Structure 1
Amino acid sequence: MSDGERGGSFHVGVIGTGSWGTTMAALTCANAPTTLWARRPELAQRINEERSNDEYLDSFELPEALVASSSLDEVVTTADVIVMAVPSHGYREVARRVAEHLRPWVPVVTLAKGLERETQQRMSEITAEEMPGHPVAVLTGPNLAREIMGGQPAASVVAIDDERIARELQRLFTRPALRVYTNPDVVGCEVAGVVKNVIAIASGMARGMGFGDNTRATLITRGLAEMTRLGEALGGDPATFAGLAGMGDLIATCSSTQSRNNTVGRRLGEGDSIDEIVESTNMVAEGVGSSPSVLDLARRNGVEMPITEQVVAVCHEGRTAPDALGALMERDATSEVE
C-alpha cells in the first residue's frame, strides 16, 4: 500500500463468501474497489446479478459496488490488500493457492478465529509460512455479521505491529457504524478470538440446560481468566484481553443467539449430539474444531484451562453437558487471583 495507492484507489480482494467475508466485502467496497472471491461460479453470478448471498446473509441486499468472481487469479492479482475470510480448517490450502498469484508486499488480513488442528498454529502464523514477505494483520472484535450488515453501531480491532499499515487498514475498514481501533498485539488478539469461541460453547451449554445469568456470567468471567492466562503464556499483552478483542468479543459471542458457537453449545445442553448439530448447519463453529488445539497449547505451556477441558470432553469425547458442568463445580476451591 504505497502513498499512491491511498485514498480508496487501491483494490481489495476478499477471499471467502461466508457471512463475515461477505459482510467485510460489503463494507470495504464503500472505501475502495473490492472483489469477493466465491469458490462456486453460480454464487458469484448470484451476487453480481441478484445482489444477494442468501446462503449466509438472507434478507440483506449487497451493495452495487461489490463485485464477485470465481477466478482466484483475477481477484488476487489485482489486489493491493487481501482479506482472508476462510475457516481455519481450510485456511492453509487456500492461503497456498492465493500465494501463487499474490504480488510482492501486499498486506494480508486474516478474519478466521481458529487454530490449525495438526500444528496448533494461528492463522497469522500459517499466513507467514505460506505467504512469506507479506505484512500480516488480524481483524477481530465483537462483530456479529448480521448486526454489522444491518448498520448497528459496533467496534473492531485491526492488529499488526506496523503502525503505518495499521492506520491504512483502519481507514479501509472504518464505516459510519463501525469504529476500528489499532493494536500491535497480534498474538493476544488472535488467542482471544480463538478461546472466546470455546467459552461460548460452554456458555451455550449452560443456556441449553436452562441455567440463568449467574451461571453464564461465571463461565464468561472464568473463561476470560483462561483466555488471559494462555494469551500471556504465548506472549500476548494482558491489556488486550480486557479490550474489544478479548472481553468485548467474549461477551458478544457468549450472549448472542446469532453466535454459531453459542448455538452449538445450547443444542449440546439440550441433549443433541455434536454429529447431529454439525450435519444440520452450513455454518462453521470454529470452537468445536479449535478446542482440542487450544487444550494442547495450554498443556504444552503449563496453563490450566478447566472450562476448555470440559468443552473438549463434550465435543470430542462423548461426555454429556450436565457431567461437564458437574466436573467444573466439583473442582477444588482456590483463589480467584491465582
Structure 2
Amino acid sequence: MTASATAPSNLSNSTHAPAAQVLNLAVLGTGAWGSALAHLARYNGHHVQTWSRRGELTLAEAVAQADVVLSAISMKGVANLADQLQQSSMPAQAILVTATKGLDPETTRTPSQIFRAAFPNHAVAVLSGPNLSKEIEGGLPAATVLASEDQAAAETVQQLFSSDQFRVYTSPDPLGAELGGTLKNVIAIAVGVCDGLNLGTNAKSALITRALPEVIRIGMHLGATEVETFYGLSGLGDMLATCSSSLSRNYRVGYGLAQGQPLDQVLEELGGTAEGVNTAHVLMEIANREEIPAPISRQVDRLLKGRITPQEALEALMERELKPEACDL
C-alpha cells in the first residue's frame, strides 16, 4: 500500500463530517501500517505529510509544521529516527505517537521509552490494538487504543483518527499498551507453530490462555501500571488478532518453521518485517537479567535460534512440572 490521498475503498464510499479541529499530521514510515493510518487521518479531513527514507521530502520538511508526529517505522530504525528528529525543527508542542511494536536490541527499550528519553518535554503516546493493516486498508471496522500519560494529548490523537469505521479508546498506561502489542508477537510465532503442526483447537486455546499471564507477568515487571491493560484491546485483543490470522507475519513465521522451512527462507518470503523474531531475542535477554519466568517465549527463542525443533519445543512445554493453574510461573 503506497502513501497517497486516496482513502481505503470502503471509506471512500461514505461521507464523514469534517474534523472539529484540523491538525497537521506527519507520518514517518510509508509501509502498510503507516499508510493505513495516513489514510484514516485524511478521511477525517486532516492535513497529512508522509516521509520515508526513499521519499522526496526530508525529515525536517515533513515535521516542520506538525501538530502530531507519528512513527510507524520498523523497530530497527527507531533509535536512529529519534536522533534525526532531535536535529530537526519539529514544533515544541508536537505530540509524538509511536505505532511500532518491538524492543531495541541495544538498549532493550520500547519505542516510547526511546522517544521519551530523547524528547522529555513532548507528550508521547502509544497507538496499539488488534489492527491488521490490510483489513483497515479495505475499510473494515476496527478499534485501537491510544495510550499516554498526558490525557489532553491522548484525546487530541483520539479525535485525529476516530471515525465511523475506526474506533479509538484512550488509556493512561502507555507502557502497558506498548508491551501488550510487542510481546504478543512472540506468542503469535508459537501459535503459528501450533497450527503448523496441526495440534488442534484444544492445544491452540490452551497455548493462548497460558500465554496471557506470561505477557502480564513480564509487562507488569517492566513497568506497566494497570493489569487491566493486558485484558483490553492492546493486550488480549491484539493477541487474538495476531494469533488467528494468516495476515500476521509473526504467525506465518511459526507456521513456516513448523512446516520445516528454514527461518531465513520464511523471512524472505514474508515481504515485510516480523518483529516477533527480534523481540524474542531481546525479551530473553531481559528475562534472564531480571529473572522473569517466560517459558513459552523461551521455547520460541530457542526455536528461532535453531537449538530445538518445533516438536521439541512442544515437548518442553508439555513436560514442565505440574502446578496449579493460578501459579505465577
Q: TM-score, normalised by structure 1?
A: 0.87
Q: Which of residues 17, 25, 35 is equivalent to 2:38?
A: 25
Q: How many Å separate the matches in 2 of 1:156 and 1:297?
A: 27
Q: Which amino acid aligns with 1:21?
A: G
Residue from 226, 239, 246 that aligns with 2:228: 239
Once the two structures are superposed, what CA deviation does each residue of 1:170-211 show, in whole Å capped at 9, x if it has no partner? 100102111100000111111111110000000001111122
Within a 5 Å distance, the mapping from 1:150-161 to structure 2 comes to 150-161=138-149
Structure 1 residue 10, shift from structure 2 partner? 2.3
1:301 pairs with 2:293? no
1:188 aligned onto 2:184: no
Q: Following TM superposition, by how much is the alpha carbon of 1:131 offset from its aligned partner in structure 2, in angstroms?
A: 2.8
Q: 1:117 aligns with which of 87, 105, 108?
A: 105
CA contact (8 A) 1:92 1:130 kept: no
SS state at 2:43 partner? coil
The answer for the alignment partner of 1:9 in structure 2 is 22
Matched residue, 1:271: 260
Q: Which residue of 1 aligns with 2:49?
A: 35
Residues 48-80 of structure 1: CA deviation (Å, up to 9, x unaligned):
xxxxxxxxxxxxxxxxxxxxx532221111211
Q: Secondary structure at the match of 1:261?
A: helix
**1:211-230 CA distance string (max 9 Å, x none):** 22111111111111100111
2: CA distance between counterparts of 1:313 and 1:288?
11
Give % identity: 41
Matching of residue 73 in structure 1 with residue 73 in structure 2:
no
Please give the alpha-carbon distance, in whole angstroms, between the structure 2 residues aligned to 1:193 and 1:26: 22
Q: How does 1:37-76 map to 2 (within 5 A)?
A: 37-41=51-55, 69-76=56-63
The CA RMSD measured in Å over matched residues stands at 1.4
- How far does residue 153 in structure 1 lie from its aligned partner after superposition? 1.4
Matched, 1:88 2:75: yes
The 8 Å contact of residues 223 and 307 in structure 1, kept in 2 or not, is answered as yes
Q: Which residue of 1 aligns with 2:239?
A: 250
Contact kept? 1:88, 1:286, Cα under 8 Å: yes
Q: Counterpart of 1:29 in 2: which secondary structure?
A: helix
Counterpart residue type for residue 19 of structure 1: A
Contact in 1 for aligned 2:249/2:270 (Cα 8 Å): no
Amino acid paired to 2:259: E
Aligned to 1:47: none
- Structure-1 residue corresponding to 2:7: none
Q: How far has the Cα of 1:151 moved from its partner?
A: 1.5
Match status 1:288 vs 2:277: yes
Identify unmatched segments of 5+ residues in structure 1.
1-5, 42-68
Moved segments of 4+, more than 3 Å: none
The reply on whether 1:333 has 2:322 as its aligned counterpart is yes
Question: TM-score, normalised to structure 2's length?
Answer: 0.90
Q: Take 1:9 and 1:190, find their aligned partners in 2: how far apart are those partners?
A: 27
Q: Distance in 1 between matches of 2:209 and 2:267?
A: 27
Q: Distance in 2 between matches of 1:193 and 1:272?
A: 26
Aligned partners of 1:256 and 1:30: how far apart in 2? 26
Determine helix, strand or coil for the equivalent of 1:13: strand
Asked whether 1:217 is paired with 2:205, we answer yes
| Native 8 Å contact 2:281 2:301 kept in 1 | yes
Q: How far does the alpha carbon of each residue in 1:256-287 deviate from its partner, in whole angstroms, 9 at most, with x for none?
A: 11001001110011111111112233310000
State the alpha-carbon separation in 1 of the partners of residues 26 and 223 from structure 2.
31
Q: CA deviation at 1:132?
A: 3.2
AA at the equivalent of 1:277: V
- Whether the 8 Å CA contact 2:23–2:160 is kept in 1: the answer is no
Tell me the amino acid that sits aligned with residue 24 of structure 1: L
3-state SS of paired residue (2:50): strand
| Preserved CA contact (<8 Å) 1:96 1:131 | no
Inter-partner Cα distance in structure 2 for 1:135 and 1:253: 29
Q: Could you tell me whether the CA contact under 8 Å between 2:142 and 2:165 is conserved in 1?
A: yes
Q: Is this contact kept in 2: 1:83–1:110, CA < 8 A? A: yes
> 8 Å contact 1:8–1:33 — kept in the other structure?
no
Count of residue pairs the alignment pairs up? 306
1:55 matched to which residue of 2? none
Q: Map Cα deviations across residues 233-273 of structure 1 (whole Å, 9 max, x no partner).
A: 12321111111111000000000110010011100111111
Cα pair 1:14 1:25 within 8 Å, conserved: yes
8 Å Cα contact 1:194/1:287 also seen in 2: yes
Query: Could you list the runs of 5+ residues in structure 2 that have no partner in the other structure?
Result: 1-18
The residue type equivalent to 1:16 in the other structure is G
Distance 2:100 2:305 in 1: 21
CA distance in 2 between counterparts of 1:85 and 1:173 reads 15
